[in-house]
Amino acid sequence: MPPIKMKSKDKNALVELVARRATSWAAGPRPFFTKIIQAANIPPEHKQSLIGPALDYPEVGASQLVHWAVDTGKNPEDKQTTALGSLLAPALKDFGYEDRLTLLATFVVYKLLDEGSIRRLAARYNIPVPAEELGDEPPDVGPDIIWHGPPPDEEIELQASGYSSALLDVGSLKRAMRRTSSVCRIEIPSIDRTASGFLISRRLVLTNYHVLRKNEREDPLKNAQGARLRFASVSDEEGEGETDAGVFTLVPDSPIVKSSPVKQHDYALLRVVGEITEVKEVRPLEISSAPPTPGRKTGLHILQHPAGGPMKLALSENGVSWVSEADGLIQYVTATARGSSGAPCFTDDWKLVAIHHAQRAKLFGAVREGILMSTILKEIEGEVMKDI
């Protein structure tokens, strides 16, 4: 069987992770390694060959197990999975939160388990699914966009939809997973509308103003009072439904704390009923006041609920094309769709820099626009500080 094509840094990180846990195992490294080997769904002869003197030493034992599994490739006992996945998946519960995130991200990026197992893990640990094709002709959403980016002849990478799998590395996915519990799908059943939003303090959620009021006939207060906020909503284990961390409503008498019209900064700051951060692992996103610098290697990544579905992760290596602090705007080509309005936009180091608000189809491809968080923060900082 061919070995797993794994980056050296990821392989080394796994060895270090396993060795660290073996070192802290109360009964010692040998019982820890033996437990992992015996629980793995690999042929008995392989189990027997792995149990030897090396298991008495954390670093040596971890290196032996990881390198053997990587070199083995597919699991001889189950061709739908890999030897590495079969070895480490049963031991997930034995690792701490941070190490577990690393293992989960490695499973997904390198496809170490079968599709069903990956789906079950994604549902259990809120792993965002990479955005698939969102359509060659995405619908126009939000206000119109005056495109300031480079024209097509400058070879800007206009990504009409989807993501680059090369960008889905272990570190990036791990950082995305830490942020999924802060993102919600906003549902307004009375007008059959869905959008995205995100938590920025104990009880304050940010989304677009046009989510509550698309035209003058709509009552934003009434729509906010009828809204439901569903946090960490991802595909369930069967891939046919969803699982979430909790559903919340807004304070009935004053759901909108502050807002800005669509033609200005297009945001609505909403107050949630109760202490949402009491829900396990639901934490406010950290806001960056420094906008990114546009360029061919400036990425912009978005956690969103396109088409009202489960959370998706859209990545773009060359996403940012134009930034104007004076206008409070950022333009990019990262994939979005209807329902993505109000989604948080992150830089390559996963700092929150903007809120997505518009998408338009142009002759040279679909373009998107967001409002810079640095601009919005100037207007809502007082409310956020009171809610800390």
pLDDT digits (tens, 9 = 90+) for 327-351: 999 998 888 888 889 999 998 889 9
Region 180-199 average pLDDT:
94
pLDDT at site 139? 62
pLDDT on residue 142: 74
Task: Please count the CA atoms within 13 angstroms of the CA of 364 that sit on its side-chain side.
Answer: 14
What pLDDT is recorded for position 276? Answer: 78
Residue 130 vs residue 291, higher pLDDT: 291
Residue 216 is classified by DSSP as T
Label residue 213 by pLDDT band (50, 70, 90): very high
* Contact (Cβ atoms closer than 8 angstroms) between residue 310 and residue 234: yes
- Higher pLDDT: 152 or 385? It is 385
Please give the pLDDT value at position 67.
Answer: 96
In the predicted structure, residue 116 carries a pLDDT above the cut 50: yes
- Rounded average pLDDT over 54-60: 95
Residue 69, pLDDT score: 95
Is 95's pLDDT higher than 90?
Answer: yes
Given a cut of 60, whether residue 137 has pLDDT beyond it is: no
Nearest to 322 by CA among 344, 348, 351, 354: 354
Tally helices (H) and strands (E) across the chain. Answer: 10, 19
Residue 308's Cα: distance from chain center in Å?
A: 16
CA gap 210, 170 in Å, rounded:
35
How high is the mean pLDDT of the chain?
Answer: 86
pLDDT attached to residue 162: 34
Residue 163 neighbours by CB under 8 Å, 6+ apart? 130, 131, 313, 314, 315, 316, 335
d(CA 22, CA 294): 45
Distance CA 56, CA 61 (A): 7
User: Is the Cα dihedral 144, 148, 154, 156 positive or negative?
Assistant: negative
The CATH number assigned to the domain with range 129-178+286-378 reads 2.40.10.10
Residue 156's pLDDT is what?
Answer: 43
pLDDT at 295: 65
- Is pLDDT at 161 greater than 60 in this prediction? no
Q: Are 134 and 337 within 8 A, CB to CB?
A: yes
pLDDT of residue 167: 60
pLDDT of residue 322: 87
Spatial contact of 310 and 330, defined as CB atoms under 8 Å apart:
no
Predicted confidence band of residue 153 (pLDDT cuts 50, 70, 90): very low
pLDDT at 327: 93
**Mean pLDDT value of segment 358-378:** 85
| H-type alpha helices, 152-295 | 170-179, 220-225
**CATH of region 184-285, choose from 2.60.40.10, 1.10.760.10, 1.10.3720.10, 2.40.10.10:** 2.40.10.10
Task: Please determine, for residue 258, whether its predicted confidence score (pLDDT) is greater than 90.
Answer: yes
